[in-house]
C-alpha cells in the first residue's frame, strides 16, 4: 500500500493538468465520461472509494451544467486531479496489475475527499435542498418545497 506522503505527491503531480480542466468545462465533460466508464468497469475493485468517486462525479456534473458553482477553485482542482489520476493507466501501481492496480487510485480518491471534506458537506447540503424543491407541472412558474 502506498504511503500517505506518496499519495499526496502523486496527487499534486496532476494538479497543474487539473487547472486546465477547471478552465474548460467541455474538456472536463470528456474527462468525466472517461472516468465514469472506467469506474463502472472497476466498481468492485474500488471498494470504499466507489461512493466517494460517485460524489465527485456528481459535483463535477453539477459544476459543468452550471447548477453548482459554489465549489472553490482549489476544491475543483483537487477533485479533477483525483479523477485525472484515476483515468491514468500508469501510476504508482499500474492498473493492469490484477487485484492491485486500483489500490493507489482508491487511495488518491480518499486523500482528495479528506482534503475537501467541508466543501463536500456543503455540496451535500445544497443537493439535499435541491431534492426538496420541485416544479408543479400543472402550474407554470410554480415551485413547491
DSSP code for 24: -
**Using one digit for the tens of pLDDT, what is the confidence trace for 22-65?**
999 999 999 999 999 999 988 877 878 999 999 999 999 999 99
pLDDT, residue 94, reads 62
**Using one digit for the tens of pLDDT, what is the confidence trace for 76-135?**
999 999 999 999 877 766 666 666 668 888 889 999 999 999 999 999 999 998 877 655
How far, in Å, CA of 60 to CA of 132, rounded?
21
| Closest CA relative to residue 107, chosen from 92, 89, 117 | 92
> Domain ranges in the chain?
4-117
Degrees, nearest 5: CA angle 130-134-138: 170
pTM: 0.83
How far, in Å, CA of 86 to CA of 8, rounded?
14
Amino acid at each position: 500500500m502506498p504511503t500517505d506522503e506518496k499519495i499526496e505527491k502523486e496527487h499534486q503531480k496532476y494538479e497543474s493538468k487539473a487547472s486546465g480542466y477547471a478552465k474548460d468545462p467541455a474538456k472536463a465533460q470528456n474527462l468525466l465520461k472517461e472516468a465514469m466508464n472506467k469506474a463502472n468497469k472497476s466498481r468492485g475493485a474500488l471498494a470504499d472509494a466507489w461512493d466517494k468517486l460517485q460524489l465527485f462525479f456528481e459535483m463535477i456534473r453539477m459544476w459543468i451544467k452550471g447548477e453548482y458553482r459554489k465549489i472553490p477553485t482549489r476544491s475543483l482542482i483537487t477533485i479533477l486531479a483525483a479523477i485525472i489520476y484515476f483515468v491514468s493507466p500508469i501510476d504508482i501501481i499500474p492498473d493492469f496489475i490484477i487485484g492491485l492496480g486500483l489500490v493507489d487510485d482508491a487511495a488518491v480518491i480518499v486523500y482528495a475527499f479528506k482534503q475537501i471534506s467541508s466543501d463536500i458537506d456543503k455540496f451535500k447540503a445544497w443537493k439535499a435542498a435541491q431534492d426538496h424543491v420541485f416544479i408543479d407541472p400543472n402550474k407554470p412558474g410554480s415551485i413547491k418545497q
